[in-house]
Structure 1
């Protein structure tokens, strides 16, 4: 998922971002926190996948 593209699409949504600057700032912070969490979860999944692939390769070479 392209997180920057998602952020741009959400920022363009008039129901979330209107003339209310404080509300817009709160929503932006919420989106950035979610983005940071998604990146951490994705990195953890990728690392588990790499470890599993390494284990399988090691057993195949025995």
Structure 2
């Protein structure tokens, strides 16, 4: 993600999207993998409740 941001910071005012597409692609890939990693870390411990400590729901 940092490489993509550094690449995007060098785009001139009169630059085009097609010429600087590599920075956009790098930034998008880095941002996507950062969100996936953050989501996995956030929900990783949610299922680690022992069976005897889980609440029992009666119907």
TM-score normalised by L of structure 2: 0.52
Q: Higher helix share goes to which structure?
A: 1
Equivalent-residue separation in structure 2 for 1:35 and 1:46 (angstroms): 16
Q: CA RMSD in A?
A: 2.7
Instruction: Name stretches of at least 5 consecutive residues in structure 1 with no aligned partner.
Output: 1-5
Q: Which has the higher contact order (CA 8 A, sep 6+)?
A: 2
Instruction: Name stretches of at least 5 consecutive residues in structure 2 with no aligned partner.
Output: none
TM-score normalised by L of structure 1: 0.50
Looking at CA atoms only, which structure, 1 or 2, has the larger radius of gyration? 2
Structure 1 runs of 4+ aligned residues shifted over 6 Å read none
